[in-house]
Amino acid sequence: MAILISFDIDGTLEFGDPPGGITLEMVKRAQDLGFLIGSCSDRFPSAQKSLWEARDIQVDFVAAKHMLPDIRQRFEADIYVHIGDRDLDRQLAEQAGFQFLWDHEGEAEPWLEWVK
Partner 1 sequence: MPKQSPIPDELDKPFYDACNEERLVVQYCPACSRYQFPPRNACGGCLNPGIQWKQVSGRGRIQSRVVVYDTPVSVLIPDQPFNVATIALEEEPEIIMLSHLPGTPVEQVPIGAQVEVIFETTPATGQKIPEWRVVS
Partner 2 sequence: MASHPMTPNSWHRNREGLGIWHGRGKVAATGVGTSPTARRWDEKPETSMGALTLIAIRKAIEDAGISPSEIDGIVITPESTTGVSNDPNTPPPEGWDQVFKMVDYPQAGITRGDIDWILVNMPELTNVQFKMEGRGCMSVSFTTAAEAVARGLTHTCLVIRGWHNLAGRYYVGQGAAAGDTLAGPQKYAGLWGAPACAGTAMIFEEYCNKYGKNHDMMAPFIVEQRKNGLMNPDGFYSQHRPEMITVEDYLSGRWIAKPANIYDNDLPIQAALAVIMTTAERAKNHRPKPAYVLTHAQTRPESQGVTPTLESWERLSDKMGRMLFEGAGIGPDDLDFENMYDGFTLFHQFHLEGLRFGANGEKGRGYALDLYQEDISITGPNPVSPSGGNNGNGRTRFWNHRDSILQVQGRSPSQISKPANIGVSGSHMPHMCDSLIWSSSPD
Residues that bind partner 1 (CB under 8 A): 66, 87-88, 91
The one of partner 1, partner 2, none whose footprint includes residue 91, by CB under 5 to 8 A per kind, is: partner 1
Choose, by CB under 8 A, the member of 2, 33, 50, 95 that binds partner 2: 50
- What H or E segment, with its residue span, contains residue 45? helix 45-53
Residue type, 21: G
The strand ranges marked E within the chain are 3-7, 36-41, 61-64, 79-84, 99-102
The one of partner 2, partner 1, none whose footprint includes residue 18, by CB under 5 to 8 A per kind, is: partner 2
- What H or E segment, with its residue span, contains residue 63? strand 61-64
- 67 near partner 2, judged by CB under 8 A: yes
Please, are residues 8 and 40 in contact by the beta-carbon 8 Å criterion?
yes
The piece of 42-50, 53-61, 96-104, 108-116 that touches partner 2 (CB under 8 A) is 42-50
For residue 45, list its beta bridge partners: none
- The contact mask relative to partner 2 for 93-112 (x = CB under 8 A, - = no) is --------------------
For residue 83, list its beta bridge partners: 7, 101
Please, are residues 86 and 63 in contact by the beta-carbon 8 Å criterion?
no
Rounded least distance, CB 7 to partner 1, Å: 19
Where on the chain is the footprint of partner 2 (CB under 8 A)?
A: 17-18, 42-47, 50, 64-67, 86-87
